[in-house]
């Protein structure tokens, strides 16, 4: 921090630890900030689109992540720079809100910053640039609304939903079986969706993965998979038409919470106590039996005596099932969670068509799957894959697809992908810019140029001539007046995204443009950065 | 030289730093001016933001004068008064914190040449006080009352005030949207606007426009136990029960111990405990409530019990949220489940759990006596929402002030120019030195429009000259002219609806003058080396290790100051 001196040449100590703080002011600060933002965006640029590349990230403790998902990359990079962190936040909030398009939003923001830099060089006031961007973003969003189409949301015809999810998945590592995965995702979302309120609680979809098998073996289970096995190895491995007792109490004599002590002063008393304990076990099993349960799922453990007894009385049981899973099982099977044995009644039992233990290949791992449930309001997507990294990436990809499907249920507007929406917006903003008096005009033109960054990156990543391709498509859009011409990334032979069935959600796109503008505005408004220089 | 012969008298502790006289006064002024320079660029709609990064790694991006001043961690004793006036302006009126600091700095800057020329500071102080008094009177005279309008009109006017405040902030692009939200929120409350009744919840994700106002209460889903998902999440005409007790299986008394001699009695103790909790739960259910909230935990047993009976429950609700629910729905917080008469239950027309971003929110709307509102803020980054919250706080304060004190003055520097002109006129009628000082005061006031122009990149001199000309028109028609931030010219800011509540300006003039006079009246600082460090709050602790070696250096550097 620069020191101030008075007339007598004495320095002021105005601010705490003045000499240890770094301070960047004015245009210099803006330039430095833009630089930081741009370099973050540059990293993600190559990940965009169906031909985008993946990044491999190694965490300090040696875990390796391979991903194509913008939010994940940025989060794992552990960006230190303050402005870089803003970009990370940006992609994270796109992830929170929409779940998809996390790369696109950062690329757009980076392009906006790049354009702003040249405007600042011309001496345009940063706030005027920000104002211009804001105006332009409004026009872009209007244009998006205009070119969007609605499709009827119909439980029987899920094709449009599946197509949109496929667009999301096509850029991921799992692109080759995108059809299967998209179908799984859509079915899962529709199963848990509350179509009347247009509300989807993604907590009800469980993503479970297991190394081994092929990606194609990934399946949707109308029920729950838990990473547990039956408590006794001799219990049957497969049960049909199961009635499940879901317990949150341990299989052991109940303990009062109040501090207690039993005084045993004679042999008889000891005997009675032992008898009583035994009686408890007996009663508990009996109560489950009486209620008609054929399977017991217990949140807590039970000791060997109980285990033996259960085995003996032919009542399969699972122990140590976590609270969340327990809840999902209850929802899926339509059962009630029972807090003590006395409350167990037949109508509180959950029903499932099939419960079986799955063994995988030659490994000893077993999982318990509860399938064909009475009420499939809770489902599981069971992911298989060659290694842990693939499974993790598949889970992330499916999460993206789930979010897309959820957004479509919330708002069924779609726009066409392949950069076509961006090009259409860019054209609209360009046209509107000419009508705006003042410096903002320049900012709006810059905004239009920045919007081209997404199709440019798409073309570049697909190995096409970026500028040639973009200009060709742009010219075609203007000439033919159809807004769904985009970059032909997969070399199908047509630029018509409608024919290629490349869709994206309208709210996702809108959010991308608005969020990017917002963050860029924030960065442009900063003219003073004060940091403790020891903080590196 | 005669002192050499006398024995030296040690008055103060060794190492004490004393500086006095004119030099000290000027040094103080310079320090204040240096601080003001740090925040001067944040003024006005084209003002910039500051990014302050502290050693704990938290980042704040702000445009709010008080916030920046606080984060700068100023230790200079004289400059600290500026932090204090910014803070007092913040707590008194909530807005204009940059203005007040800027004004104080400018008063000092104007006073400096006089001090250097040997004028006694007290004379300046007296003149400044008179000037401030006149300025306040003039502001009050110029204020335009917005009283007596009907509700619709009044809300329109209040929105204008809120929009002026928000103009300079990061969320300025959406000022219509937010000013409406703020006015709606404030007008939902009763006369005595308590700030705690407006809840602001921050949810990352989404854009600013996704922010929304809930005419009632909203809070984030609390920690829930298994069974929660089986509860219904949507009620119409729900009755609400608020509790401040644990609904869990627990020992009733901490230090009680049960002694059993007969194992057969064991079950009875277990049953007794279960009965206690079941009895409690049963009473809750019997009360007819459909939503049960508790400040303390609601255990898994209770969650499942309620789920079985189609009741929604949430435990560990934050205190202020619970209070807001209480005041919104008319429920009374109960500490026992005995005697749950219908009167203690609250009522709301609609309750639901809804997804907001990646969070789920419990939302109560259509409350019987909605004396509370909740603003759910959305935004791209954490710092963004934090700044938006500060901006909304300012706007809420302004609207609140404007309701209480229904007079506004034109903004954009118009009022400052007019007061300045008035003071100049007044000064002409004074014989004596005070004339100069009041003129200086008047000149200092012009800093507001000048800074507005500077920040926007306009030619300040040009605009100021135009403004002076307008304001000096004898007809008085130019009194409302201020800086037009869009074109770089001047405009009637009253017509352009750039309004500020007059109380903001009055308070700013008073506080800035007070601070300037305070600095001017100090002619000696005595800094005790040891006690100053822990005493100079904020400077303690953190400062010590970092300064360990530098401390000696600095001590010597300051030693020079002693004469």
- The per-residue pLDDT for B352 is 85
Let me know whether A217 and A231 are in one domain.
no
Question: Best of A26, A82, A124, A256 to disrupt the B interface by mutation (most B CBs within 10 Å)?
Answer: A256
Grouping H, G, I as helix, E, B as strand and the rest as coil, residue B402 is: helix
B523-545 average pLDDT score: 51
Let me know whether A28 and A78 are in one domain.
yes
Question: Best of A2, A14, A338 to disrupt the B interface by mutation (most B CBs within 10 Å)?
Answer: A14
Is residue A251 situated within a structural domain?
yes
Q: How confident is the model at residue A267 (pLDDT cuts 50, 70, 90)?
A: confident
CATH code for the domain of A276: 3.50.7.10
Q: How far does the CA of residue A413 sit from the closest CA of chain B (Å)?
A: 17
Cβ atoms of B377 and B202 closer than 8 Å: yes
Cβ atoms of A112 and A99 closer than 8 Å: no
Count CB-CB contacts under 10 A for residue B364. Answer: 30
Give the single-character DSSP code of A52. P
Cα torsion A281, A287, A293, A296 to 10°: value is -30
Q: pLDDT at residue B551 above 60?
A: no
Contact (CB<8Å) B230/A197: no
Which are the catalytic amino acids of B?
64, 97-98, 394
Mean pLDDT score across all residues of chain A: 84
Q: Which of 280-319 (A) contact B at CB < 8 A?
A: 299
Q: Which residues of A touch B54 (CB under 8 A)?
A: 532
- The per-residue pLDDT for B556 is 38
Closest by CA position to B493, among listed B170, B164, B218, B190: B164
Tokens of B550: 């530098």
Token look-up 């809070």 returns B219
C-alpha to C-alpha distances, A310 to A247, A250, A286, A395, nearest whole angstrom: 15, 13, 10, 37
Let me know whether A440 and A361 are in one domain.
no
Q: Which of A12-16, A39-43, B107-111 shows the lowest per-residue confidence on average (mean pLDDT)?
A: A12-16
Residues counted in chain B:
563
A137-149 average pLDDT score: 90
Let me know whether A32 and A143 are in one domain.
yes
Q: Nearest-CA residue of chain A relative to B455?
A: A125
- The per-residue pLDDT for A60 is 83
Contact (CB<8Å) B357/A93: yes
Domain end among A319, A347, A372: A372
pLDDT digits (tens, 9 = 90+) for A77-102: 888 888 888 888 888 888 888 888 88
- The per-residue pLDDT for B530 is 54
Q: Which residues of B216-229 are buried (b: 16+ CB within 10 A; e: fewer)?
A: bbbbbbbebbbbbb
Q: How confident is the model at residue A20 (pLDDT cuts 50, 70, 90)?
A: low
Spatial separation of the C-alpha atoms in residues A55 and A52, rounded to whole Å: 10
Q: Domain count of chain A?
A: 3
Grouping H, G, I as helix, E, B as strand and the rest as coil, residue B508 is: helix
For residue A11, the cross-strand partners are A5
A318-342 average pLDDT score: 83
A255 interface with B at CB cutoff 8 Å: yes
| Between B537 and B168, the higher pLDDT residue | B168
Contact (CB<8Å) B304/A339: yes
Q: Which of A154-163, A329-338, A506-515, B105-114 shows the lowest per-residue confidence on average (mean pLDDT)?
A: A154-163
Contact (CB<8Å) A92/B204: yes
- The per-residue pLDDT for B437 is 92
Tokens of B527: 């800094």
A527 interface with B at CB cutoff 8 Å: yes
Q: pLDDT at residue B402 above 70?
A: yes
DSSP B240-286: EEEE-S-BS---SSTT-EEEESSGGGHHHHHHHHHHHHHHHHHHHHH
Spatial separation of the C-alpha atoms in residues B411 and B406, rounded to whole Å: 15
Apex B317 CA angle, B312 and B323, nearest 5 = 105
Cβ atoms of A523 and A113 closer than 8 Å: yes
B361 interface with A at CB cutoff 8 Å: no
What spatial distance separates the first Cα and last Cα of chain B, rounded to whole Å?
14
Contact (CB<8Å) A16/B543: yes
Which stretch, A205-209, A413-417, A444-448, B334-338, has highest mean pLDDT? A444-448
Cβ atoms of B83 and B74 closer than 8 Å: yes
B267-286 average pLDDT score: 84
Closest by CA position to B529, among listed B554, B507, B510, B501: B554
Let me know whether A404 and A437 are in one domain.
no
Contact (CB<8Å) B381/A94: no
Spatial separation of the C-alpha atoms in residues A54 and A323, rounded to whole Å: 36
A251-276 average pLDDT score: 80
pLDDT digits (tens, 9 = 90+) for A346-369: 888 888 888 888 877 666 777 888
Spatial separation of the C-alpha atoms in residues B458 and B484, rounded to whole Å: 10
Contacts of B287 (CB under 8 A, 6+ apart): B239, B241, B340, B342, B345
C-alpha to C-alpha distances, A219 to A164, A206, A237, A292, B174, nearest whole angstrom: 19, 12, 21, 31, 46
Let me know whether A311 and A364 are in one domain.
yes
pLDDT digits (tens, 9 = 90+) for B405-436: 778 888 888 999 999 999 999 999 888 888 99
C-alpha to C-alpha distances, A476 to A429, A451, A473, A481, nearest whole angstrom: 17, 17, 5, 8
Q: Which residues of B touch A12 (CB under 8 A)?
A: 27, 30-31, 34, 76
B537 interface with A at CB cutoff 8 Å: no
Contact (CB<8Å) A338/B554: no
pLDDT digits (tens, 9 = 90+) for A442-476: 999 999 999 998 899 888 888 888 899 899 888 98
Q: How confident is the model at residue A48 (pLDDT cuts 50, 70, 90)?
A: confident
Q: How confident is the model at residue A141 (pLDDT cuts 50, 70, 90)?
A: very high
Burial class (CB in 10 A: 0-12, 13-18, 19+), A482: middle
- The per-residue pLDDT for A224 is 85
Contacts of B464 (CB under 8 A, 6+ apart): B446, B449, B450, B453
pLDDT digits (tens, 9 = 90+) for B330-364: 888 888 888 888 888 888 888 888 877 778 888 88
Domain B216-251+272-369 has what CATH class?
A: alpha beta
Is residue A1 situated within a structural domain?
no
Q: Which residues of B touch A519 (CB under 8 A)?
A: 380-381, 384
Let me know whether A244 and A365 are in one domain.
yes
Let me know whether A336 and A238 are in one domain.
yes
Let me know whether A423 and A521 are in one domain.
yes
Is residue A500 situated within a structural domain?
yes
Radius of gyration of chain B (CA): 30
pLDDT digits (tens, 9 = 90+) for B4-23: 566 666 666 666 666 677 87
pLDDT digits (tens, 9 = 90+) for B108-165: 999 999 988 888 899 999 999 999 999 999 999 888 887 766 777 778 888 888 888 8
Mean pLDDT score across all residues of chain B: 81
**Chain-centre distance for alpha carbon B288:** 41
Cβ atoms of B452 and B102 closer than 8 Å: no
- The per-residue pLDDT for B562 is 39
Q: Nearest-CA residue of chain B relative to A253?
A: B267
Is residue A179 situated within a structural domain?
yes
For residue B217, the cross-strand partners are B364
Q: At what angle do helices B21-39 and B502-520 cross, to 10 degrees?
A: 150
Q: What is the 3-state secondary structure (H, E, C) of A129-142?
A: HHHHHHHHHHHHHH
Is residue A2 situated within a structural domain?
no
Q: pLDDT at residue A136 above 90?
A: yes
Let me know whether A354 and A231 are in one domain.
yes
A532 interface with B at CB cutoff 8 Å: yes
- The per-residue pLDDT for A362 is 67
Let me know whether A201 and A79 are in one domain.
no
Q: How confident is the model at residue A534 (pLDDT cuts 50, 70, 90)?
A: low
pLDDT digits (tens, 9 = 90+) for B95-106: 888 899 999 999
For residue A246, the cross-strand partners are A297, A337
Q: Which residues of A touch B538 (CB under 8 A)?
A: 16
CATH number of B17-145+410-521: 1.10.560.10
pLDDT digits (tens, 9 = 90+) for B299-327: 888 888 888 888 888 888 888 888 888 88
Q: pLDDT at residue A22 above 90?
A: no
- The per-residue pLDDT for A142 is 92
Contacts of A118 (CB under 8 A, 6+ apart): A446
Q: Nearest-CA residue of chain B relative to A128?
A: B46
Q: List every span in chain B annotated with CATH 3.50.7.10.
A: 216-251+272-369
Is residue A15 situated within a structural domain?
no
Q: pLDDT at residue A479 above 80?
A: yes
Domain end among A318, A348, A372: A372
Spatial separation of the C-alpha atoms in residues B5 and B563, rounded to whole Å: 18
Grouping H, G, I as helix, E, B as strand and the rest as coil, residue A268 is: helix
**How many pairs of residues across A and B have Cβ atoms under 8 Å apart?**
269
Q: Which of A489-498, B11-20, B198-207, B394-403 shows the lowest per-residue confidence on average (mean pLDDT)?
A: B11-20
Q: Which of A434-438, A469-473, B79-83, B364-368 shows the lowest per-residue confidence on average (mean pLDDT)?
A: B364-368
Let me know whether A179 and A165 are in one domain.
yes
Is residue A4 situated within a structural domain?
no
Is residue A88 situated within a structural domain?
yes
Closest by CA position to B224, among listed B97, B315, B348, B111: B315
Q: List every span in chain B annotated with CATH 1.10.560.10.
A: 17-145+410-521
- The per-residue pLDDT for A343 is 80
- The per-residue pLDDT for A6 is 54
Contact (CB<8Å) A10/B307: no
Contacts of B401 (CB under 8 A, 6+ apart): B93, B94, B501, B503, B504
| Domain enclosing residue A48, as ranges | 23-150+416-532
C-alpha to C-alpha distances, A71 to A88, A101, A189, B148, B473, nearest whole angstrom: 7, 9, 22, 54, 60
Spatial separation of the C-alpha atoms in residues B423 and B130, rounded to whole Å: 10
- The per-residue pLDDT for B192 is 67
Cβ atoms of B330 and B311 closer than 8 Å: no
A203 interface with B at CB cutoff 8 Å: yes
Spatial separation of the C-alpha atoms in residues B315 and B155, rounded to whole Å: 38
Strands (E), A174-333: 205-211, 219-221, 224-226, 238-247, 259-262, 295-298, 317-318
């Amino acid at each position: 921090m620069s020191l101030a001196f008075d007339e007598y040449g004495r320095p002021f100590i105005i601010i705490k630890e003045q000499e240890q703080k770094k301070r960047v002011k004015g245009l210099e600060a803006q330039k430095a900030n833009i630089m930081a933002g741009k370099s973050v965006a540059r990293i993600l640029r190559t990940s965009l689109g169906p031909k985008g590349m993946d990044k491999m990230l190694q965490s300090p403790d040696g875990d390796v992540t391979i991903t194509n998902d913008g939010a994940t990359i940025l989060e794992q990079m552990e960006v230190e720079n303050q402005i870089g962190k803003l970009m990370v936040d940006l992609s994270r909030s796109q992830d929170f809100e929409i779940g998809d398009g996390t790369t696109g939003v950062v690329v757009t923001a980076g392009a906006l910053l790049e354009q702003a830099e040249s405007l600042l060089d011309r001496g345009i006031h940063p706030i005027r640039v920000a104002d211009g961007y804001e105006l332009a973003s409004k026009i872009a969003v209007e244009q998006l609304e205009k070119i969007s189409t609605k499709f009827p949301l119909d439980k029987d015809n899920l094709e449009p939903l599946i197509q949109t999810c496929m667009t999301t998945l096509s850029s991921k590592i799992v692109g080759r079986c995108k059809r299967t995965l998209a179908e799984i995702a859509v079915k899962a979302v529709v199963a848990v969706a509350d179509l009347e309120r247009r509300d989807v609680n993604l907590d009800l979809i469980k993503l479970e993965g297991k190394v081994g098998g092929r990606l194609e073996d990934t399946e949707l289970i109308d029920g729950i998979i838990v990473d547990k096995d039956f408590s006794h190895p001799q219990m049957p491995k497969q049960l049909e038409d199961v009635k499940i007792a879901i317990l949150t109490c341990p299989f052991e004599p109940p303990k009062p919470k109040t501090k207690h002590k039993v005084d045993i002063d004679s042999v008889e008393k000891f005997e009675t106590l032992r008898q009583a304990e035994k009686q408890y076990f007996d009663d508990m099993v009996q109560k489950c039996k009486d209620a008609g349960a054929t399977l017991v799922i217990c949140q807590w453990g039970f000791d060997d005596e109980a285990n033996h007894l259960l085995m003996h009385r032919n009542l399969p049981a699972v122990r140590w099932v976590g609270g969340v899973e327990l809840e999902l099982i209850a929802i899926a099977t339509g059962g009630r969670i029972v807090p003590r044995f006395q409350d167990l009644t037949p109508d509180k039992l959950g029903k499932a068509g099939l419960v079986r233990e799955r063994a995988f290949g030659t490994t000893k791992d077993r999982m318990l799957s509860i399938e064909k449930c009475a009420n499939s309001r809770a489902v599981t997507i069971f992911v298989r894959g060659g290694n842990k990294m693939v499974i993790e990436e598949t889970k992330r990809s499916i999460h993206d697809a789930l979010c897309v499907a959820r957004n479509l249920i919330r708002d069924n507007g779609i726009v066409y992908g392949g950069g076509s929406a961006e090009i259409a917006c860019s054209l609209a903003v360009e046209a509107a810019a000419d009508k705006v008096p003042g410096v903002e005009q320049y900012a709006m033109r810059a905004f239009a140029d920045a919007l081209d960054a997404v199709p440019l990156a798409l073309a570049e990543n697909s190995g096409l001539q970026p500028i040639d391709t973009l200009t060709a498509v742009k010219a075609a859009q203007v000439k033919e007046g159809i807004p769904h011409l985009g970059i032909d990334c997969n070399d199908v032979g047509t630029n018509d995204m409608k024919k290629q069935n490349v869709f994206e959600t309208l709210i996702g796109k809108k959010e991308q443009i608005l969020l990017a503008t917002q963050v860029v505005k924030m960065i442009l408004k900063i003219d003073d950065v004060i940091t403790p220089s020891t903080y590196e | 030289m005669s002192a050499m012969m006398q024995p030296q008298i040690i008055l103060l502790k060794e190492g004490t730093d004393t500086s006095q006289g004119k030099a000290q006064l000027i040094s103080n002024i310079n320090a204040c001016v240096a601080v003001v320079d740090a925040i001067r660029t944040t003024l006005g709609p084209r003002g910039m933001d500051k990014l302050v990064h502290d050693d704990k790694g938290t980042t704040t991006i702000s445009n709010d004068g008080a916030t920046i001043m606080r984060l700068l961690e100023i230790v200079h004793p004289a400059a600290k008064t500026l932090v204090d006036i910014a803070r007092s302006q913040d707590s008194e009126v909530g807005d204009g914190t940059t203005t007040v600091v800027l004004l104080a700095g400018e008063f000092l800057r104007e006073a400096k040449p006089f001090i250097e020329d040997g004028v006694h500071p007290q004379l300046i102080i007296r003149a400044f006080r008179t000037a401030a008094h006149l300025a306040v009177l003039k502001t009050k005279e110029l204020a335009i009352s917005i009283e007596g309008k009907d509700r619709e009109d009044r809300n329109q006017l209040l929105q204008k005030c809120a929009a002026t405040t928000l103009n300079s902030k990061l969320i300025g692009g959406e000022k219509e949207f937010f000013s409406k939200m703020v006015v709606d929120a404030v007008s939902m409350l009763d006369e005595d606007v308590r700030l705690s009744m407006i809840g602001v919840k921050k949810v990352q994700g989404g854009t600013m426009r996704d922010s929304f106002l809930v005419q009632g209460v909203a809070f984030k889903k609390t920690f829930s136990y298994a069974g929660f998902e089986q509860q219904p999440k949507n009620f119409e005409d729900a009755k609400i029960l608020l509790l401040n007790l644990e609904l869990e299986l627990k020992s009733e008394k901490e230090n009680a111990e049960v002694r059993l001699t007969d194992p057969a009695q064991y079950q009875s103790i277990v049953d007794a405990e279960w009965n206690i909790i079941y009895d409690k739960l049963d009473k809750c259910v019997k009360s007819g409530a459909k939503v049960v909230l508790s400040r303390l935990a609601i255990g898994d047993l209770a969650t499942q019990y309620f789920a079985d009976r189609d009741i929604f429950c949430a435990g560990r609700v934050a205190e202020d949220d619970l209070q807001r629910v209480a005041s919104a729905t008319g429920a009374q917080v109960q500490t026992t489940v005995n005697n749950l008469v219908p009167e203690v239950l609250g009522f709301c027309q609609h309750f639901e759990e809804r997804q907001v971003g990646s969070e789920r929110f419990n939302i109560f709307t259509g409350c019987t006596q909605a004396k509370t509102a909740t603003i759910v803020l959305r935004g791209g980054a954490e710092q963004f929402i934090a700044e938006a919250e500060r901006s909304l706080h300012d706007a809420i304060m302004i609207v609140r002030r404007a309701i209480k004190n229904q007079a506004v003055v034109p903004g954009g520097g118009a009022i400052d120019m007019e007061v300045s002109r008035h003071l100049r006129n007044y000064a002409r009628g004074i014989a004596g030195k005070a004339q100069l000082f009041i003129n200086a005061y008047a000149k200092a006031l012009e800093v507001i429009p000048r800074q507005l122009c500077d920040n926007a990149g306009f030619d300040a001199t040009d605009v100021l000259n135009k403004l002076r000309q307008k304001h000096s028109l004898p007809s008085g028609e130019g009194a409302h002219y201020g800086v037009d931030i869009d074109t770089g010219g001047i405009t009637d800011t009253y017509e352009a609806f750039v309004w500020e509540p007059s109380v903001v300006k009055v308070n700013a003039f008073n506080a800035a003058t007070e601070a300037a006079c305070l600095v001017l009246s100090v002619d000696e600082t005595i800094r005790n080396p040891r006690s100053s460090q822990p005493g100079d709050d904020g400077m303690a602790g953190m400062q010590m290790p970092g300064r360990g070696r530098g401390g000696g250096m600095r001590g010597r550097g300051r030693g020079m100051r002693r004469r």
